[in-house]
């Protein structure tokens, strides 16, 4: 669990039913970690220093036919 409250679960082992049928099984959580930082979705967004150099206007891109 992250400090922001979000929880991400990573599969360490698939149950036999999932391997055979691709249907999800109930989770069996045996280990978890408490993270001292926010998840990627909650971290503050910092613009890249070179953002001013990126041309995002489609009109400025050359058209090749």
Cα 65 from Cα 28, distance rounded (Å)? 55
Backbone angles phi, psi at 7, to 5 degrees: -125, 130
Residue range 26-46: mean pLDDT, rounded: 81
Contacts of 41 (CB under 8 A, 6+ apart): 6
Cα 11 from Cα 59, distance rounded (Å)? 45
Higher pLDDT, 56 or 44: 44
All structural domains of the chain with their residue ranges = 1-65
Cα 22 from Cα 31, distance rounded (Å)? 23
Query: Would the pTM of this model clear 0.85, i.e. be above it?
Result: no
């Amino acid at each position: 669990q992250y400090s922001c409250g979000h929880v991400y679960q990573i599969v360490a082992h698939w149950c036999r039913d999932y391997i055979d049928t691709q249907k999800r099984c109930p989770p069996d959580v045996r280990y978890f970690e408490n993270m001292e930082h926010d998840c990627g979705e909650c971290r503050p967004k910092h613009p890249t220093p070179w953002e001013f150099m990126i041309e995002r206007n489609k009109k400025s891109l050359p058209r090749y036919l």
